[in-house]
Amino acid sequence: MLAALVGEIVSNYSNVLMMFGFAITATAPALLLSKMISPKKRNNPVKFLPMECGQVPKGEGRTHFMMQYYAYVLMFVVFDVMAIFLYSWGSTILNLERTATLPIIIFLGIMFAAMAFALYQSKRRNIW
């Protein structure tokens, strides 16, 4: 019984995976065909340098970089989870008591206060 139920659910999801696999198997031959009919001239090492608008590339491709907006990435980690939590409330709200909305409003208030504080902090570039 349970196995059959699980199987039914999994068979629904397997269609998504099959679509993924079909798209890859349908488009990979284009790459193979391109490999077969395109010209191959390996006489020029400059051709395989990274593209830098005609200049000879300088330094590494992957360098240290300024995470100027790192604060937003940190906030994303918190508020993305919050947004998905709200879905579990929203999809069952028709079966809930009306009073059950109040704790959610309080939860939203707490999250909003935290978000305002985080946005205020994200403007202070010198602490990052």
User: Minimum Å distance from CB 80 to other proteins?
Assistant: 6
Q: Is the four-CA dihedral 117, 122, 125, 128 of positive or negative sign? A: positive
Q: Which residues of 13-39 are buried (b: 16+ CB within 10 A; e: fewer)?
A: eeeeeeeeeeeeeeeeeeeeeeeeeee
Of positions 6, 72, 106, 113, contacts other proteins by CB under 8 A = 72
Q: Which of 2, 50, 97, 127 lies at the binding interface for other proteins (CB under 8 A)?
A: 50
Please report whether residue 33 would count as binding other proteins according to CB under 8 A.
Answer: yes
Q: Which of 6, 7, 10, 83 binds other proteins (CB under 8 A)?
A: 83
- 113 binding other proteins? (CB under 8 A): no
